[in-house]
């Protein structure tokens, strides 16, 4: 066993530390840290070796961040419901739980001992397992950790796991985001389309510069395969059931509600500063809007699975198709860009919501 491998094994076997934060971290502060040249060290980050996607000795920090007694803000939940096109209710959209925990997760990934730069992470998939309804004004604890670093043919993948707990320690919901670190020597150890770990087992433990960069990474995929690993040539769009027309202010409106003010979503001017020809929609905006339009019963346990394939540019439009299967309690939505000229249709995202314990 090499020295770097021994250190990695020791880190994995060490007991997990839990760091209590006094409050949910600020998105602007996290972004400012990510843009600090000292935070963009790439291969010099972390203690596990040469770093980067191909260093081979990287280890994820064995620490969880926790914020206790976070109130589900009624005004934010209402504004989130309205932004997604639904009525405000006392039951909280799971997208609100995601944006509640997301800055805690980002703060963990912005640590100096995190082996990869926050800029450039690609959000491949997201899965939320919600065991019971959450009401506005509820107090919850938020815990975030990272795990399951593994090879991927385009670099490395890992999971950021956020757990929402009740005041009595009951696990209410688990949010698992799968990220790709692009670069390094390609590996066949995990095909790009590998399914995410079960959020049910995650609950037992437990598009931002990171979250929003799912779309940024997707633009760099080759013509035949998306970052998510599914062949574009194989995509045959279903009959559309609707068209979303998204204005140039879509990212700003979502940012105002969620707090996620990543510059690549706010305007063409700020997006161009980061190499994008135009602003792109937050991935979790499209996922949350699809969830709302699927008319899910929030009073029941549910699982919400999302796969991202390509960015949705702003302003712009995307075709969507919804399909329900009452026999198994699922609602599905796929969103895509229609064919233009010689370019065929391109899938942007796919959402599936399953009602559990029917």
Q: Is the pLDDT of residue 268 over 60?
A: yes
Kindly give the pairing relationship between strand 242-246 and strand 316-325: antiparallel
How much is the pLDDT for 205? 29
Q: What is the pLDDT of residue 324?
A: 93
pLDDT given at position 200: 38
Compute how many other C-beta atoms are within 10 angstroms of the C-beta atom of residue 96. Answer: 23
Which residues have CB under 8 Å from 201's CB, separation 6+? none
pTM for this entry = 0.82
Q: What is the pLDDT of residues 215-255, one digit of tens each?
A: 433 333 333 444 455 555 678 999 999 999 999 999 999 99
How confident is residue 354, by pLDDT bands cut at 50, 70 and 90? very high
Provide the pLDDT confidence category of residue 149 given band limits of 50, 70 and 90: very high
Question: What is residue 209's predicted lDDT score, i.e. its pLDDT?
Answer: 40
Q: How far apart are CA 188 and CA 173, in angstroms?
A: 32
Question: Which residues, including other chains, have CB under 8 Å from residue 124's CB and lie 6 or more apart?
Answer: 157, 178, 179, 180, 192, 214, 227, 228, 307, 308
Looking at per-residue confidence, does 162 or 38 come out higher? Answer: 162
Closest-CA residue to 311 (of 99, 123, 160, 113): 123
CA distance 198 to 320: 27
Q: How many CB atoms lie within 10 A of CB 239?
A: 7
With both helix axes pointing from N to C terminus, report the angle between 74-83 and 250-258 in degrees, rounded to the nearest 10.
160
């Amino acid at each position: 066993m090499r020295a770097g491998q021994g250190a990695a094994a020791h880190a994995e076997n060490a007991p997990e530390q839990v760091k209590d934060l006094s409050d949910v971290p600020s998105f602007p502060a996290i972004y400012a840290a990510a843009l600090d040249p000292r935070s963009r060290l790439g291969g010099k980050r972390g203690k596990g070796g040469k770093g980067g996607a191909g260093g081979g000795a990287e280890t994820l920090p064995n620490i969880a961040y926790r914020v206790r007694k976070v109130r589900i803000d009624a005004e934010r939940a209402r504004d989130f419901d309205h932004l997604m096109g639904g009525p405000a209710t006392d039951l909280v959209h799971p997208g609100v739980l995601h944006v509640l925990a997301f800055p805690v997760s980002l703060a963990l990934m912005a640590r100096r001992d995190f082996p990869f730069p926050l800029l450039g992470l690609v959000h491949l998939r997201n899965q939320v397992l919600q065991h019971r309804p959450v009401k506005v004004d509820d107090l919850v604890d938020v815990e975030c950790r990272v795990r399951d670093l593994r090879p991927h043919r385009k670099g490395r993948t890992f999971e950021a796991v956020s757990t929402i707990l009740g005041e009595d320690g009951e696990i209410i919901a688990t949010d698992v985001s799968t990220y790709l670190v692009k670069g390094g020597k390609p590996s066949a150890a995990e095909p790009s389309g590998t399914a995410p770990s079960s959020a049910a087992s995650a609950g037992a433990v437990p598009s931002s510069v990171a979250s929003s960069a799912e779309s940024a990474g997707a633009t760099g995929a080759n013509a035949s395969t998306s970052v998510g690993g599914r062949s574009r040539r194989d995509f045959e769009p279903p009959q559309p059931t609707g068209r979303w027309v998204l204005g140039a202010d879509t990212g700003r409106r979502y940012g105002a509600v969620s707090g996620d003010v990543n510059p690549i979503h706010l305007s063409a001017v700020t997006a161009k500063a980061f190499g994008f020809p135009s602003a792109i929609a937050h991935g979790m905006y499209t996922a949350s809007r699809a969830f709302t339009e699927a008319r899910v019963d929030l009073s029941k346990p549910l699982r919400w699975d999302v796969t991202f394939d390509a960015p949705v540019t702003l302003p712009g439009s995307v075709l969507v198709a919804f399909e329900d299967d009452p026999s198994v309690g699922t609602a599905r939505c796929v969103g895509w860009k229609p064919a233009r000229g010689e370019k065929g249709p391109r899938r942007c995202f796919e959402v599936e919501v399953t009602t559990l314990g029917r």
